[in-house]
């Protein structure tokens, strides 16, 4: 099968027939073998009824329905697990992503050898309250990840099958699939300028809080990718700095007290000095960070995937 198109959705019953007909037209014109996987993320309208109706008319249309709204990342993760196409393309259900972009994305994966191609909505039909935070979010993600994409959060993306089978998307990490893919070893990541259409039906399902959540998720994925298998390398360094600083303060205070006593110099008691409590706090924080590191190491060493690695080639083992 050439292409799997994955479409997560929430209450998009008005747009589904038009979107499905558009995708079918593009696939037939380019003679692609394909499947369309709709993931109904707990819709309360007639979205699932329409998906069933579309599936009865066309066997290439498939659907997955969640009991309640779980979010875009779980929807994508479930669809990635069942997708069968050599190239997997994700897009939104609100008709703001154009299916006419599918052939170009497919060629970039199959002919130009990209692992992942992200859409770039160069001209957007969004209010300024959304475009400015989006630019800041993309700048921060570029700076931290080193991936030079203009639009990380564009729903229109294309992947090699190996990519979607080799990564896990959870929480709200769908914004960072290029980052997850890069840290999983898929390094040929590109982008394609794509058409962004004004919303035709319904209204957006995302608020400004997604930018706050997005920043927190970026911190999470940065930490987990760097220190998930070796938490002591993070907590141990911080713990060492805090403990040694506190220990140095303590030695200084003790030496100063001994010197004052030896020379009969006036001086305040150690416990009367603010520096004593600073030193004590640093010692306690240092010990706590060490304990956090040890607990993290114990969890990492007992995790079921502690020795799972992505082996892509073998030789001399009878294959």
Q: What is the pLDDT of residue 227?
A: 72
**Between 127 and 58, the higher pLDDT residue:** 58
Tens of pLDDT, residues 241-289? 999 999 998 898 888 888 888 878 777 777 788 888 899 999 999 999 9
Tokens of residue 3, six digits: 């292409």
Q: What is the pLDDT of residue 305?
A: 55
Residues 6+ apart with CB under 8 A from 13: 43, 45, 46, 47, 49, 50
Beta strands 116-121 and 157-160 are antiparallel
Q: At residue 312, does pLDDT exceed 60?
A: no
Q: What average pLDDT score do residues 304-316 get?
A: 50
Tens of pLDDT, residues 136-157? 778 878 887 788 898 888 889 9
What is the C-alpha separation between 8 and 38, in angstroms, rounded? Answer: 6
Sheet holding 3-9, edge to edge: 61-65, 34-40, 3-9, 87-90, 157-160, 116-121, 189-194
pLDDT band, very low/low/confident/very high, at 300 (cuts 50, 70, 90)? low
Strand, helix or coil at 196? strand
Which residue in this structure is represented by tokens 């960070």? Answer: 289
What is the C-alpha separation between 108 and 113, in angstroms, rounded? Answer: 7
pLDDT band, very low/low/confident/very high, at 80 (cuts 50, 70, 90)? very high
Q: What is the pLDDT of residue 307?
A: 47
Phi (first) and psi of residue 316, to 5 degrees: 85, 15
**H or E element at residue 241:** helix 232-262
């Amino acid at each position: 099968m050439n292409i799997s198109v994955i479409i997560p959705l929430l209450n998009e019953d008005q747009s589904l027939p038009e979107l499905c007909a558009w995708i079918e037209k593009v696939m037939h014109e380019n003679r692609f073998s394909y499947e369309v996987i709709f993931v109904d993320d707990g819709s309360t309208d007639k979205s699932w009824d329409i998906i069933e109706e579309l599936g009865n008319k066309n066997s290439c249309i498939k659907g997955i329905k969640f009991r309640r709204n779980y979010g875009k990342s779980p929807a994508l993760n479930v669809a990635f697990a069942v997708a069968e196409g050599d190239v997997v393309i994700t897009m939104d259900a609100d008709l703001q992503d154009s299916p006419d972009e599918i052939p170009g994305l497919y060629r970039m994966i199959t002919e130009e050898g990209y692992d992942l191609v992200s859409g770039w909505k160069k001209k957007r039909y969004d209010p300024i309250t959304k475009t400015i935070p989006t630019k800041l979010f993309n700048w921060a993600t570029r700076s931290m990840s080193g991936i030079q994409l203009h639009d990380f959060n564009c729903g229109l993306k294309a992947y090699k099958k190996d990519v979607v089978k080799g990564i896990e998307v959870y929480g709200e990490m769908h914004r960072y699939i290029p980052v997850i893919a890069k840290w999983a070893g898929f390094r040929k990541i590109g982008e394609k300028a794509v058409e962004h259409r004004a919303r035709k039906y319904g209204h957006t399902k995302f608020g400004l809080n997604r930018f706050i959540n997005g920043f927190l998720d970026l911190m999470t994925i940065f930490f987990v990718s760097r220190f998930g298998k070796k938490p002591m390398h993070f907590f141990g360094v911080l713990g060492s700095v805090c403990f040694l600083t506190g220990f140095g303060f303590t030695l200084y205070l003790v030496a100063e007290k001994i010197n004052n006593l030896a020379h009969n110099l006036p001086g305040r008691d150690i416990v009367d000095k603010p520096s004593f409590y600073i030193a004590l706090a640093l010692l306690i924080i240092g010990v706590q960070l060490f304990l956090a590191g040890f607990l993290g190491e114990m969890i990492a060493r007992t995790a079921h995937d502690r020795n799972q690695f992505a082996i892509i080639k073998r030789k001399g083992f009878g294959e």
